[in-house]
Amino acid sequence: MPFATAPAPHVVAPSSVARVMRQVLYALIPTVALHVVFFGPGLLIQIVLGVVTALAAEAAALRLRGKPLPPFLLDGSAIITAVLLALCLPPLAPWWLVVSGVAFAILLAKHLFGGLGANPFNPAMVGYAVLLVSFPARMLQWLPPNVAGLEPASLSFVDTLTTIFTGMPPARFTWDAITSPTPLDALRTDLALGMTMGEAHANAMFSTFGGKGWEWINLATLAGGGWLLALRIIRWHIPVAMLTALFVCASIMSAADPGGYAGPLFHLTSGASMLGAFFIATDPVSAATSDRGKLIYGAGIGVLTYVIRTWGGYPDGVAFAVLIMNLTVPLIDRYTIPRIYGHAR
Amino acid sequence: MAKPGVRGGLRLDAHKERSTAQALRAASSVETLVLPLDQHAGAPAVPLVKPGERVLRGQPIAEPGGAISAWLHSPASGTVAAIEPRPAPHRLGAPTLSIVVANDGRDERYAQPAPAPFDQLSPEQLREIIGRGGIVGLGGAVFPTAAKLSSAVRGQELRLLLNGAECEPYISCDDMLMRERARDVVFGARVLLHALTAQTCVIAIEDDTPQAAAALEAAIAEAHDQRIQLRQVGSDYPAGGERQLITAVFDVEVPAGGLPADVNTVCLNVGTAAAVAYWIRDAQPLTNRIVTVTGDGVLEQRNLDVRLGTPLAALIYDCGGYTSRMSRLIMGGSMMGQSLPHDGMPVIKATNCIIAASALDLQPRAAEMPCIRCGNCAEVCPATLLPQQLHWYAMGRDLDALEAYGLMDCIECGCCDYVCPSQIPLAERFRDMKPALTERLAARGSAAAARTRFDARTARLEHIESERLAALAKKRQELAKKSS
Amino acid sequence: MLPALLTMVGLAAAAGAAAALATRRSNEDQKRLIDEIDALLPQTQCGRCTFSGCRPYASALASGEADIDQCPPGGNATAAALANLLGREPRPVDPRFGAVRAQPLVAWIDESACIGCVKCIQACPVDAIVGASKFMHTVIADQCTGCELCIPPCPVDCIVMRPASA
């Protein structure tokens, strides 16, 4: 009797790229949910815009490269890039900001280098960096969080939509009335003006650890990251290395000069620390390969994040830290090849 | 050497409950037995018989064809029907020269001289006699056992490791052997200890085979041999890989490109030890082996004691025939087994298991996506390789990088394949690239040999020349002395 | 303007000096380089490169007296590997040094014509021909590197090159 043949192994785990990406999206749900609670529905509109742009850009790029649309279009990687970038943008950012950022990320940072699995840089962070450098003012116009002690201007859903699509605030407001800096941004400005940490911290937007609202979002992201760790979608090396490095740098500097430098818990719960540790730095394509390499990579991101936040030109350093460490990945990989069984070194 | 350790591996469903539920029985006799002459590692055997000649069961019908080769014996009495190319499973159906024996059903035995007690023979004599039994490694590598033993003996203290750690899913022939014939395994261990002049033997089995453990403990106690111990290792796949097992049991690593003998170890399958026992104790050469017949595509799943040369179709028929769900025929286990194009091929010395696989047994790959560098493969690799890097360089056919990243250390276990979310056929890619790299390494080896010979010749010529000049100088001196 | 310009020029000069220093080789490095080059060569010892063996050629490559395209037995792959090691422009093998063979060849002595003169034995750089005066000569195919140095000395022209796989 004849039979069809196939090469070994004859059983493989029912895993797929789409499944991995889907788990990452599920893990982002707490972050997105809390973000909407504190900053309004703007994020959801940004996400929708971003995802549509991402899929359109991906389809166009695949066509141009002569690749088949399924399975690549729905593998989820473009959607994740869009969601991560949307999370980094101000909720009321004009529509063209997220569209141009996502288009740049997908077309230039991903497909120009060879598509899925071939990008040396994290596409979402490339998009963010381009937007930050090109439109610095727009990128720093955040909202005050919806917490007691602060009075954010009440914007309805329709107001949010019109602001995003027209690029202008609703008629009865000015930009200054509805926007506010992030805690990291405010801290930078205040310290530069000569205030001490204690004085800067007295601002109503700060709570015990970090900024009000932001600390909860970071905790939600931590929970999502823990979910990914439990499912073994990501491994512990990069998040632990990054957060430890950030913690250590902040501890040393704030112990030396408590008035001039923010403490470690503030840094861990501010800005994109948790998002960066569990969702951005762990992007497998652009990260280091071996376990030891991942530790070095994560630690480098942590240190650079602290350096840029404290002495650099931007309030949050995660994006540039990730991009700089992406540059060093080939070097790290070269020197951290694990010892093969039976070899001396 | 850095700290050794067993890394990676997978926890897989064993699928062995059905095939171990019933006791061993002999496979039914068949009319025709086909015996490929190259079914062992090394040079093919050379026929000793001609078509039309009558042969008896256990009669040698082919002798070794080179330094590394093996004897072949007739598994039945009857007539040599032909010596011609026949499809062979280890050639995936391609024909190879085989001796075809027509079985007369009478099972008349070849008169072997009564074996001398093995401990009265010298180790060299014992090794030579083991070779005459056609014994080869029955774990799948079919390396001639006598050659393996002889090349390991270099004057140092050796230890014997019997591999009963049957880690690959579906295969249970060694488990059944140890459950029902533990005494033969232990006897074989004692013979091998003498042949190697070794003082230690460890029989390694997995920790999920309690019946085999109990049977072996009883057999060891009965033999009153302190040199033999039983050791249980974890049942992760591939715990039974030779290098992984040696590391797990003895805490040393076999050097890359080296052999277990380099760490004073000889590793043999428990089936090989039993075969040694049958030959040395009972004068029965290697003509049979235990084969697991399993999978959802065959009616009855069990282990059979099969004569070599039995057609696989007959084996399936013996187990009730195919079910309607039969889809793929695999020789070996689910992770490393070879898929066969048809069942008209014979059982050979390497056939440990036949899986008649249906859709329930198979988990085929989905469409291949690009590597997303997730690192799952590196996490499970038992050789601590970086399969994602090997894949990258295999795509680019970069032999230098493949060598640097250890392609030749890949044991093709398939663990990386199993966990890849992009469904990349990694083991197949690495298998495809190995011949090119092997060729290059061989060329480098012969270039190094040529360099050595050239240097030796240059040195010889220089030496001759300097001797000639020295002789002339001496003559000049003597003449100068004479004239003064 | 001027300070910025001077800084850039100074940095560039410093970087260039550092690079030049890094690529200087000591005597020991030179020997190691010759070893590395020799490891890439096919060890045919044929002399087509105009040097008396592979190691003299390696030595000449290391000192810059020879170029990377002089080894026909190594073929274009060896030329590329040498170019990579020495940082030179990769080039195919120069046909003036000999033809690159498509497959490896080994020498074969026609025993019906051999007169036992030992001239080929003396010529073989790797002692791959066995025999003695007035005794039959034969080439050990496994050890023949295909250098063809045995062919000119043979007075009865009884040596031919055949594909190694034959």
Mean pLDDT of A87-96: 92
Distance CA A271, CA A218 (A): 8
Taking the CA of residue A6 as centre, how many other CA atoms within 13 Å lie in the half-sphere pointing to its CB? 17
The answer to whether B365 faces chain A, any CB pair under 8 Å, is yes
- Please tell me which residue of chain C has the smallest CA distance to B452: C126
Look at residue B4 and tell me whether its pLDDT is greater than 80: no
- Return the CATH fold of C25-97: 3-methyladenine DNA Glycosylase II; Chain A, domain 3 (1.10.15)
Q: Does the beta-carbon distance from A117 to B332 stay under 8 Å?
A: no
Mean pLDDT of A126-153: 84
Mutate which: A10, A282, A335, vs B, most B CBs within 10 A: A10
Tokens encoding B355: 């899986």
The answer to whether B456 faces chain C, any CB pair under 8 Å, is yes
One-letter amino acid at A25 equals L
Point out the least confidently predicted range of B164-168, B415-419, C23-27. Answer: C23-27
Point out the least confidently predicted range of A160-174, A220-234, B115-129. Answer: A160-174
Residue recorded with tokens 């000395």 = C153
pLDDT in tens, B221-258: 999 999 999 999 998 999 999 999 999 999 999 999 89
Residue pairs between chains B and C whose CB atoms are closer than 8 Å: 31
**CATH code where residue B128 lies:** 3.40.50.11540
Tokens encoding B310: 């039995």
Could you tell me if B65 and B45 are in contact, meaning their C-beta atoms sit under 8 angstroms apart?
yes
Mean pLDDT of B343-347: 95
Q: Which pLDDT band holds residue A189 (cuts at 50, 70, 90)?
A: confident
Look at residue A234 and tell me whether its pLDDT is greater than 90: yes
Look at residue B1 and tell me whether its pLDDT is greater than 50: no
Q: Where are the domains positioned within chain C? A: 25-97, 105-163
Mutate which: B417, B428, B433, B434, vs A, most A CBs within 10 A: B417
Mean pLDDT of A132-161: 82
Beta-carbon contacts of A25 under 8 Å, excluding residues fewer than 6 positions away, are: A76, A79, A80, A83
Mean pLDDT of C33-62: 90
Look at residue A237 and tell me whether its pLDDT is greater than 90: yes
* pLDDT at res. B480: 84
* pLDDT at res. B160: 96
User: Which H helix or E strand runs over A157?
Assistant: helix A157-166
Which of B443, B453, B458 is opposite residue C143, by nearest beta carbon? B453
Distance CA A322, CA A281 (A): 6
Mean pLDDT of A204-223: 84
Mean pLDDT of A160-164: 85
Range of the domain at B256: 117-289
Just give the CATH number of C105-163: 3.30.70.20
Sheet of strand B228-233, all strands in order from the earlier edge strand to the far edge: B228-233, B200-206, B159-164, B265-269
* pLDDT at res. B5: 57
> What does A159-186 look like in DSSP terms, one character per residue?
HHHHHHHHSS--TT--HHHH-B--HHHH
Q: Does the beta-carbon distance from A339 to B2 stay under 8 Å?
A: yes
Of C7 and A200, the structure prediction assigns the larger pLDDT to C7
Mean pLDDT of A74-96: 93
Q: Does the beta-carbon distance from B247 to A341 stay under 8 Å?
A: yes
Distance from CA of B405 to the nearest CA of C (A): 19
**B245 within some domain:** yes
List of chain B residues whose C-beta atoms are within 8 Å of the C-beta of residue C54: 451, 454
B 152-171 → C contacts, CB under 8 A: none
Tokens encoding A262: 């923010």
Q: Which pLDDT band holds residue B86 (cuts at 50, 70, 90)?
A: very high
* pLDDT at res. C64: 87
**What residues pair up with B266 in beta bridges, in sequence order?**
B160
Query: What mean pLDDT value characterizes chain B?
Result: 93
Q: Does the beta-carbon distance from B450 to C45 stay under 8 Å?
A: yes
Distance CA B361, CA B298 (A): 12
Beta-carbon contacts of C3 under 8 Å, excluding residues fewer than 6 positions away, are: none
The answer to whether B447 faces chain C, any CB pair under 8 Å, is yes
* pLDDT at res. B2: 45
**B67 within some domain:** no
Of C166 and B461, the structure prediction assigns the larger pLDDT to B461
Which of B378, B382, B418 is opposite residue A9, by nearest beta carbon? B418
Mean pLDDT of A223-252: 95
- Please tell me which residue of chain B has the smallest CA distance to A77: B372
Q: At what angle do helices A95-104 and A77-88 cross, to 10 degrees?
A: 140
Judge if the upstream peptide bond of residue A9 is cis by omega within 30 degrees of 0: yes
* pLDDT at res. C166: 56
Which of B253, B327, B372 is opposite residue A17, by nearest beta carbon? B372
Annotate chain B with three-state secondary structure. Answer: CCCCCCCCCECCCCCCCCCCCCCCEECCCCCEEEEECCCCCCCCCEECCCCCCEECECCEEEECCCCCCCCEECCCCEEEEEEEEEECHHHCCCEEEEEEEEECCCCCECCCCCCCCHHHCCHHHHHHHHHHCCCECCCCCCCEHHHHHHHHCCCCCCEEEEEECCCCCCCCHHHHHHHHCHHHHHHHHHHHHHHHCCCEEEEEEECCCHHHHHHHHHHHHHHCCCCEEEEEECCCECCCCHHHHHHHHHCCCCCCCCCHHHHCEEEEEHHHHHHHHHHHHHCCCCCEEEEEEECCCECCCEEEEEECCCEHHHHHHHCCCECCCEEEEEECCCCCCEEECECCCECCCCCCEEEEEECCCCECCCCCCCCCCCCHHHHHCCCCCCHHHHHHHHHCCCHHHHHHCCHHHCCCCCHHHHHCCCCCCHHHHHHHHHHHHHHHHHHHHHHHHHHHHHHHHHHHHHHHHHHHHHHHHHHHHHHHHHHC
**CATH code where residue B441 lies:** 1.10.1060
Look at residue C109 and tell me whether its pLDDT is greater than 50: yes
Mean pLDDT of A291-319: 92
B 387-406 → A contacts, CB under 8 A: 388-389, 405-406
Mutate which: A11, A290, A332, vs B, most B CBs within 10 A: A11
**B30 within some domain:** no
The answer to whether B294 faces chain A, any CB pair under 8 Å, is no
pLDDT in tens, A239-288: 999 999 999 999 999 899 888 888 898 889 888 899 999 999 999 999 99
Closest CA to B290 of B271, B305, B269: B305
pLDDT in tens, B374-392: 999 999 999 999 999 999 9
Residue pairs between chains A and B whose CB atoms are closer than 8 Å: 168
Q: Which pLDDT band holds residue A138 (cuts at 50, 70, 90)?
A: confident
The answer to whether C53 faces chain B, any CB pair under 8 Å, is yes
Of B437 and A141, the structure prediction assigns the larger pLDDT to B437
* pLDDT at res. C26: 66
Q: Is residue B139 domain-shared with residue B253, that is, in the same domain?
A: yes
C 5-44 → B contacts, CB under 8 A: 38, 41-44
Query: What mean pLDDT value characterizes chain A?
Result: 89
Distance CA C44, CA B259 (A): 31
pLDDT in tens, C14-29: 989 988 887 676 667 8
pLDDT in tens, B184-214: 999 999 999 999 999 999 999 999 999 999 9
Q: Which pLDDT band holds residue C164 (cuts at 50, 70, 90)?
A: confident
pLDDT in tens, C49-98: 888 889 999 999 998 889 999 999 988 989 999 998 888 888 899 888 88
Look at residue B112 and tell me whether its pLDDT is greater than 90: no
- Please tell me which residue of chain A has the smallest CA distance to B387: A289
Measured at the CA of C94, the angle between CA C93 and CA C98, to 5 degrees, comes to 90
Distance from CA of A325 to the nearest CA of B (A): 16
Look at residue B47 and tell me whether its pLDDT is greater than 90: yes
Tokens encoding C83: 């170019």
Burial of residue C93, with CB atoms counted within 10 A of its CB: 0-12 exposed, 13-18 middle, 19 or more buried: buried
Which of B2, B341, B406 is opposite residue A2, by nearest beta carbon? B341
The answer to whether B464 faces chain C, any CB pair under 8 Å, is no
Distance from CA of B181 to the nearest CA of A (A): 31
**B232 within some domain:** yes
List of chain C residues whose C-beta atoms are within 8 Å of the C-beta of residue B443: 42
Distance CA C146, CA C48 (A): 12
Q: Which phi and psi (to 5°) does residue B355 adopt?
A: -105, 115
Closest CA to B147 of B161, B132, B131, B125: B131
Q: Which pLDDT band holds residue B281 (cuts at 50, 70, 90)?
A: very high
Q: Is residue B272 domain-shared with residue B386, that is, in the same domain?
A: no
Q: List chains touching A (3+ CB pairs under 8 A).
A: B
Tokens encoding B332: 């070996």
Look at residue A99 and tell me whether its pLDDT is greater than 90: yes
Look at residue B346 and tell me whether its pLDDT is greater than 50: yes
Q: Does the beta-carbon distance from A11 to B169 stay under 8 Å?
A: yes
Mean pLDDT of B129-158: 93
The answer to whether B312 faces chain A, any CB pair under 8 Å, is no
Q: Which pLDDT band holds residue A162 (cuts at 50, 70, 90)?
A: confident
Q: Which pLDDT band holds residue A188 (cuts at 50, 70, 90)?
A: confident
Distance CA B329, CA B314 (A): 14
* Percentage of chain B lying above the pLDDT 70 cut: 99
Q: Where are the domains positioned within chain A? A: 16-180, 214-334
Q: Which pLDDT band holds residue A179 (cuts at 50, 70, 90)?
A: confident
The answer to whether C70 faces chain B, any CB pair under 8 Å, is no
**What residues pair up with B235 in beta bridges, in sequence order?**
none
List of chain C residues whose C-beta atoms are within 8 Å of the C-beta of residue B457: 125-127
